[in-house]
Amino acid sequence: MRAEERRAAILETLRRANEPVSAGALAAACRVSRQIIVGDVALLRAAGEDIAATPRGYVMQTAPAGIVRRVACRHTNAEMGDELNAIVDQGCEVLDVVVEHPLYGQLTGALRLKSRYDVGEFLRRCARAEAKPLSELTEGIHLHTLSCPSEAAFFRARAALEALGFLLDEEN
């Protein structure tokens, strides 16, 4: 398969996918190395394709359903699962995490977590990779962009975070 055909196949796979597709799965389907896929995705992005890398694989960026809101939070690394589950339990999707870095400015990590299953998989990946969350750079302070089906769901998520003591407010 030529490089152009492979990139077209990657785009088609991502457009049809209902969930993230890993670089490894794309590599197996195209019979190339994972690194070739990473390079192909970089070239597709440079050509204007809106492909996001999430903890579970690549996705085509689409406009979030419902309303999009942000929450400011603060918690320890050990409390990350409680925070994320509190949000998805209210029907909201955690699109990303954002921190303010003193050198690089705003750093954003795509998450796309919709369910407790997604949260569990994310936490397992963190543990396996021995990776630290971005919020560790900012003493636990971070933002999440949420996609919620309604204002009521957003306010339920805020209330759940507040009940856990994770919602950053003007007094923290």
pLDDT-derived band at 136 (thresholds 50, 70, 90) equals confident
Same fold? 3-60, 67-163: no
Looking at 1.10.630.10, 3.40.50.720, 3.90.25.10, 3.30.1340.20, the CATH number of the domain 67-163 comes to 3.30.1340.20
Q: Which CATH architecture has domain 3-60?
A: Orthogonal Bundle (1.10)
Beta strands per DSSP E along the chain: 51-54, 57-60, 67-74, 93-101, 105-113, 141-148
Percent of the chain with pLDDT over 70: 98
Domain ranges within the chain, ordered by starting residue: 3-60, 67-163
Give the chain's mean pLDDT.
91
pLDDT on residue 170? 55
DSSP state of 133: P
18-72 residue pLDDT tens: 888 999 999 999 999 999 999 999 999 989 898 988 878 999 977 777 899 999 9
CA-CA distances (angstroms) from residue 13 to 8, 17, 21, 30, 108?
9, 6, 8, 11, 25
